[in-house]
Structure 1
Amino acid sequence: MNDYFKLQNVLFCEDDKLATHWKMFFHGSQPAYDRQNRCIVIGAGQVVDFCTYFNSIALRKWRTYTWADKLILKLRVQGKIEICLTGYEKEDNRYIRRIVARKKINAEEEKEIWIPYPDKPLELAGFEVHALEYSTIFEGEYGTEVQADKRNHVSLHLITTTFKKEEYILPNIELLKKTVLTEKRLEEISDRESLAKNFWIHVVDNGRTLSPEQMEADHVQLHPNLNTGGAGGFTRGMLESLEHREKPTNVLLMDDDVLVLPESIIRTYQLLRIQRPEYKRHFISGAMLYYEEMERLHEDVGYVNRTGEYGPLKSRINTAKIEKVLRREGQKKNPDTAYAGWWYCCIPVEFVRKDNLPLPLFIRGDDVEYSLRNKAEFITMNGICIWHKGFSNKFNGAMEFYQVHRNSLILQAASGVCRNIDFMDRISKLVRVNLLRFNYDGAEQLLDAVEDYLKGYHFLMKNQGEKLMKEESSKNEKLISLEHFPEAPMKPYEVYNDTPRKPLETFLYRITYNGHFWPSCLLKKQVVPVAYDWFYSPHLYFFRRKLLVVNPAMETGAYREMDRKRFIRILRRKHRIMKQYKETHTHVEREFREHRDEMTSESFWRKYLEIDQK
């Protein structure tokens, strides 16, 4: 078949870290993995279902976004088996599982088989293997037929930014060298359009702790950089890719502290190779799964809601359950505040231009602003993803209170996005909430965010992100082991249970600012454990003198105590800053808007990053 084109590989769950999560790869029986021969072995009578998060194919999406109108299953097998081609059709709001074809194979020797799928309107397609005797599957893939004149040339440049995270970045780059870039010499690969020949890696080292000897190789470059956060690191990578001898067609941004699956990059590249012209401007937005709970999918497309909160557009799911995967794969109209996170985001070079670089936000919000400014549309696909480390158990006030809210005001002002969202109303309410639960440092961080925004665009153009983060991080609560607290709960996650307030309690809580304007002798002395993060439980805070805040994931905590003097001082500061905002925000916003093009230009960034002017 001269027109045959591979779409994606069938995965065997080879990584030891994923072995206990095999239901992301197989349903029914778990096959045995033969590590020496890199194949899977299925015992007589076993049935293995490959219609899973990683081994199904999102057929409707492939047919929509690419020229993959046909679907072919290609396997290399040995033994006596029956293969059932399966898939899910959507009827009304239900997904109906179908067996669309069957084929019996009797292969005494290793044999390659091709089985075409009938032309059915399947959402997801997959297959089952029924072993009639002891059998082996050596490899498998889904493919299609695409004529040469419909195939695109793709030059894919990966950019990853790191800051003193050698334990993550070094294994990831080594893995990509051995897989995506292949172990054999690149010049020996005859196919000019192979991924290995057209994949380039730019490692931007914001910590300047890596050496070329540790990292560089054919198609891998190291770029020492100032610590300018994710925004500065990714911008440096964009500039380097644009200056590269092999000009990119697409740029793939990826975090450093992730577990990467090489197959995600393969699927991204194959999709780009046969992408229909009308979808070439779409961003490919990879999903982020939790490293600590590897089956849990957190987000593939995010959005900013009407109250100014950032979060996933679709529901979080357990990827081991195919019905959850199906419902998530259903197309959902993206609001105008939808964005792609830069943990894994593939952007057409049409947008990655020297006059269209990110804003210098240091960290948080750079990916949001870039998506919204460019009115991005998105492609998501099951199996194109990463696992992010530490995302599920960290709450950092410097990030969540200061950085996020300062940058929300900046991106709204500079790029004219999120116009219907009142970020100042959200900040005002959060200051009050944090005062009520004695988190005075958190309230200060929120007010710092507004105060620094009001300093205007000149403030943003100074390379001081690292300094500011250190200052704000010094205000974060210092949590220590729960062993040091007699009030620590036996079951730490119980801090997320809340009891509704009584009407009188609610009334007194509000008019007294939770006891800040109430006699001390009438406050409760007992210390209660509460959640340290966003979780709000006013019944537990009510009229307490002291709280124990708990991080259940890390089993750490800290005391918070009522401080009336500090409360009054912060309240006065809030009124002063809010008055200043009302008087000056129109002028500040106009200046940000007028200087946005300057802040996203090559000349500005080269000066900011202290690299040679071109």
Structure 2
Amino acid sequence: MSKNYKLQNILFCDNDRLEAYWEMFFKSSRPVYDREKKNIVLGAGQVIDFCTYFNSISLLKWKTYTYAEKLILKLRVKGEMEILLTGYEKKDTQYIRKVLRRAKVSAAEEQEISLEYPENDLMVAGFEIHTLGVCVIYGGEYATEVEEDQMRHVSLHLCTTTFKKEDYILPNIQLLKDTVLAGNDSIAENLWIHVVDNGRTLPAEEIQTEHVMVHPNLNVGGAGGFTRGMLEAMDHKEKPTHVLLMDDDVMILPESLIRTYNLLKIVRPEYEHHFISGAMLFYEEMNFLYEDVGFMDHEGTYGPLKDRVDTRKIEDVLRCEEIIHEPKNAYAGWWYCCIPAEFVRKDNLPLPVFVRGDDVEYSLRNKAKFITLSGICIWHMGFTNKFNGAMEFYQVHRNTLMLQAASGVCQNADIMTRIRKLIRVNLLRFNYDGAELLLDAVEDYMKGYKFFMKNQGEKLLKEKSQKNEQMEPLSNFPEAPTKVFSVYAPDLPRKPWETFLYRITYNGHFWPEKLLKKETVPVAYDWYYSPHRYFFRRRLLAVNPHLKMGAYREMDKKRFFELFSRERKLFSRYNKIHVRLEKEYRNHRKEFTSESFWRKYLEIDK
């Protein structure tokens, strides 16, 4: 017997932060959204297009991954209007807009209408409303019809880990309580939220309900926090069918959970083993989607699989929606990652890397495949403004070496060559602390598997963070550029003799200081490499244009030669022991990922 089944809700822009980005929801000349009544009011002769990032539906994906073979639009409206059922299909390299059906509606009072889409080959479907008088749109949804035996039970356990970020985690929990858990959909009865409190500062008695649990935890980073959440989910009386891992310092959209749950309920058996990978959008520029699936390339660089997406542009949305082949070393970030319970086992837990790389290794170890959908996303706080040397140089590279050795993943990536290049680059631009952090990463990895078995992540991160550049407001520096983002301008070409001298003298470290240039020049503080700017300078001004902060970098030959010597000794020793070292890590991987190890590490009783 077939049953009407909701796929996703039509969303209005009812979030204060998103008000400036309303084109992610709908396109119109003069949209009037009544925040109090939660409806859209349109005048005569207006057109409003809902074929957008949040209000189109990934039709090809729903048809592929689930039993949603037909599509029905349900709307609650009032007024005289014509509704167009629209969408886009791909022909060769072009996206072609299609109008599948037109329907005139005349409703003196609020009325629900239901329109079925004709058979089609659309990638993405949507709709438009052309008003013939004053019209009101109260809400709506996309639905399908499925057989009852095609629907499965879903018990979704959301695990989020936090460390003294009450400003983020408390509003997120309250929002989910007020929306998803208070709703009439079946997800309200089948969603369980585990808040792992690494800082032990949350008022648990004020937060906890039947469906929300707080677990005080040691500060064991994201890896340890998510592991604790997995263990708690597995031990819960309502056994999970899926575990959803989500960062704490994010802005969430309750609809993302609803769409995730609704997909899982009717997923086809051949796709029930896929991870659902939510997109990460920039909190600072909320229309830009940074990543929905990432990968590591052969040089050991982590990054998004797709080009940057402006979710206000339908061409970008369509490009993002294409089902594309996932390359080797693809992974889902744990800012929003829904994992089938078959993978969340007590003999298959994350590696104890504290932060960075745990999500990459877990995806690769489990040979994960991914589902992405428009509107399943979060906005990440502070992601674009910060470059943290302790994280990017020490934590990332140390952990990548460890996961590569322990799990045998990313074997096509030459991490050591990457590290040596980065050490050289940082020495050339006088970022001696950055070079030292990279050397620390290799040295700590070379201490072997026992180093990672100790719960010392918090201590190490504090220690390494002391080596981050201490930046001050740019107003303190006379050399600060007026146009701060000019530090990312294309670098000028060097003359052949300049390139030669730059390389053989390590940018003046093997050169008389009196022959170096005295003028201080501004340079980018992060990954951006501009050797022409650095050439034969005594001092650079490292600039963070996002935060308008800066720090001087002075040539220090004594520090250079200390690090230069340390690098050679360290890599000479690495070359002698790396085969044995990798074997030891590989032999202890099962121990690292076991329940017995983690319970001891987390200091929790069985």
Shorter-normalised TM range: over 0.9
Does the 8 Å CA contact 1:549/1:559 hold for their aligned counterparts?
yes
Corresponding residue SS for 1:493 = helix
Q: Which amino acid is 2:476 matched to? A: H
Return the offset for 1:213: 2.5
Partner secondary structure for residue 607 of structure 1: helix
Give me the whole-angstrom Cα distance separating, in 2, the residues matched to 1:215 and 1:457: 38
What's the CA shift for 1:40? 1.2
Q: Aligned residue for 1:236? A: 228
Provide Cα deviations, 1:471-526, integer angstroms capped at 9, x if missing partner. Answer: 10000000010011000001110011121222111111001100001111110000
The residue number in structure 1 matching 2:514 is 521
Counterpart of 1:422 in structure 2 is 414
Deviates further, 536-545 or 214-223: 214-223
Aligned-partner Cα distance in 1 for 2:84–2:269: 34
Q: Counterparts in 2 of 1:489-568, with a 5 A limit? A: 489-497=481-489, 498-568=491-561
Letter in 2 for 1:469: L
Partner of 1:246: 238
- Counterpart for residue 413 of structure 1: 405
Matches within 5 A, 1:159-198: 159-182=159-182, 194-198=186-190
Deviation at 1:2, TM superposition (A): 5.6
- 1:95 counterpart residue number: 95
Greater Cα offset, 174-183 or 52-61: 174-183
Q: Distance in 2 between matches of 1:526 and 1:213?
A: 60
Task: Verify: 1:271 aligned to 2:247, yes or no.
Answer: no
Residue identity matched to 1:491: K
State the AA in 2 paired with 1:149: D
Match of 2:579 in 1: 586
Q: Is the 1:336–1:375 contact (alpha carbons within 8 Å) kept by the matching residues of 2?
A: no
Q: Tell me the SS of whatever aligns to 2:61.
A: helix
User: Is residue 574 of structure 1 aligned with residue 567 of structure 2?
Assistant: yes
Give the counterpart letter for 2:507 in structure 1: N
Q: Which residue identity is paired with 1:502?
A: K
Amino acid at match of 2:38: R
Matching residue of 2:56: 56
1:67–1:275 CA contact under 8 A, matched in 2: yes
- TM-superposed deviation, 1:271: 0.3
Secondary structure of the 1:210 match is coil
- The answer for the alignment partner of 2:373 in structure 1 is 381
State how far apart, in whole Å, the 1-side matches of 2:209 and 2:11 are. 27
- Alignment deviations for residues 203-224 of structure 1 (CA, whole Å, 9 cap, x no partner): 0000000121231122000000
Q: 2:3 maps to what in 1?
A: 3
Partner of 1:25: 25
CA contact (8 A) 1:22 1:30 kept: no
Counterpart in the other structure of 1:186: none
Amino acid at match of 1:591: E
Unaligned 5+ runs, structure 1: 184-188
Moved over 4 A (4+): none
Aligned partner of 1:292 among 277, 281, 284: 284
Letter in 1 for 2:294: G
Q: Deviations over 1:298-346 (max 9, x none)?
A: 0000000011000001111111000011012112211120000000000
Give the distance between the partners of 1:370 and 1:560, measured in 2 at CA: 38
| Partner of residue 474, structure 2 | 482
Paired AA for residue 355 in structure 2: I
Say whether residues 1:141 and 2:134 are aligned partners. no
Name which of structure 1's ranges 452-461 and 209-218 shifts more when overlaid on structure 2.
Answer: 209-218
What SS does the aligned partner of 1:264 have? helix
Q: What's the offset of the Cα at 1:35?
A: 2.1
The separation in 2 between residues aligned to 1:574 and 1:82, in whole angstroms, is 71
> Aligned-pair distance for 1:239?
0.2
* Deviation per residue, 1:396-445 (Å, 9 max, x gap): 00000000000010000000001111100000010000000000000000
Partner SS, residue 261 of structure 2: helix
1:582 counterpart letter in structure 2? N
Aligned length: 605
Which residue number corresponds to residue 150 of structure 1? Answer: 150
1:459: which partner in 2?
A: 451
Q: What amino acid sits opposite 2:435 in the alignment?
A: A
SS across alignment from 2:86: strand
Amino acid at match of 1:76: R
- Offset at residue 146 of structure 1 (A): 0.4
d(CA) in 2 for partners of 1:500 and 1:551? Answer: 23
* Cα drift, residue 30 of structure 1: 4.4
Q: Give the TM-score of the pair, scaled to structure 1.
A: 0.98
CA distance in 2, matches of 1:605, 1:457: 15
Partner of 2:426: 434
- Look up the SS of the partner of 1:157 in the other structure: strand
Structure 2 residue identity aligned to 1:134: V
Aligned-residue CA RMSD (Å):
0.9
What amino acid does structure 2 have at the position aligned with 1:587?
R
